[in-house]
Amino acid sequence: MNARRDALNGRNRPIGVFDSGIGGITVLKALRKALPHEDLVYLGDTARLPYGTKSPETVTAYATQATKHLLGHDVKMIVIACNTASAVALGPLTQALAPIPVIGVIEPGAKAGVKATKTGRIGIIATEATVKGGAYARAIHALMPEAEVSQAACGLFVTLAEEGWTKGEVAEAAAKRYLAPLFKGRNAPDTLVLGCTHFPVLARTIKKVAGKGVKLVDSAATTAKAVEEALARQDLTAKHKRKGKTRFLATDSTERFARVGGIFFGEEIRVKDVELVDIKPT
């Protein structure tokens, strides 16, 4: 009986989710919708944002610290809700944390891109680090070897998203400048993968610039599906029937996190519900 109670308690532990900032809340929102009974702990490493301009070594170190902090919350699974961290740290973290499952956003994003394309021409827009690492092209080619993958680094979108400047002339000018090289030839992509969890809040502006015929996909819903499947596979799905709780942690200004994070979450985040944490090694 005790063993059974322990196993059930194990399944009722929260899922840890992290990103460099508030962008990963786009994934959190999809998790909240797909897994209404799961408890979620979201960590935004806002003090050290952006990750996308940093070296793989630095991003891996930050991702490891974020993960360690979440393990302190007794999480049963880690979701890397950041493409940059997924691109460089998914392998090492998966190894280090086994048997605790670690889910990244690149494979689910690649899957969404492959499903959406009709021509096999897929554009990836992401941070500089994600583009440089080539993880998206590898993940797409593993699913669709004949795919033509083009990429553009759009780092300023992260700042615009964190600033809440998701529409208007500044966001449009940035989108025009970033997307022009992808759409200049005859072999333009018919699908754009938003390869950074900050970008979905700019989707309307990106769509306006890319044109009606271009499909935009992101990894939020497909990641939520991958999490749901991994929980079921490992017998980790929460057994309680109450509504899942969402807890927010940030490494810098809780006020800013609540204010801008609410835009990403699609519902109010109260400042008092965000806890300031220090995840740096002591």
The residues annotated with a catalytic role in the active site are 82, 196
Measured CA angle at 241 (ends 240, 247), to 5 deg: 75
Report yes or no: 217 and 194 within 8 Å, Cβ to Cβ.
Answer: yes
We find the least distance from the C-beta atom of residue 208 to ligand DGL, in angstroms, to be: 22
DSSP for residue 206: H
Q: Does 16 bind ligand DGL (CB under 6 A)?
A: no
* Per-residue contact string for residues 129-168; x = within reach of ligand DGL by CB under 6 A: -x---------------------------x----------
We find the least distance from the C-beta atom of residue 130 to ligand DGL, in angstroms, to be: 6
Does the CA dihedral 137-138-143-145 come out positive or negative?
Answer: positive
Q: Does 117 bind ligand DGL (CB under 6 A)?
A: no
How far is 158 from 195, CA to CA, in rounded Å? 11
We find the least distance from the C-beta atom of residue 187 to ligand DGL, in angstroms, to be: 26
Give me 128's structure tokens. 């500089």
Residues touching ligand DGL, count (CB under 6 A): 17
Q: Does 191 bind ligand DGL (CB under 6 A)?
A: no
Please give the residues from 252 up to 281 whose contact with ligand DGL meets the rule CB under 6 A.
none
Task: Quickly tell me which residue has 């950074």 as its tokens.
Answer: 196
Please give the residues from 64 up to 103 whose contact with ligand DGL meets the rule CB under 6 A.
82-84
Residue nearest to ligand DGL (CB): 52
Q: Does 108 bind ligand DGL (CB under 6 A)?
A: no
* CA-based end-to-end distance of the chain: 41
How far is 79 from 134, CA to CA, in rounded Å? 20
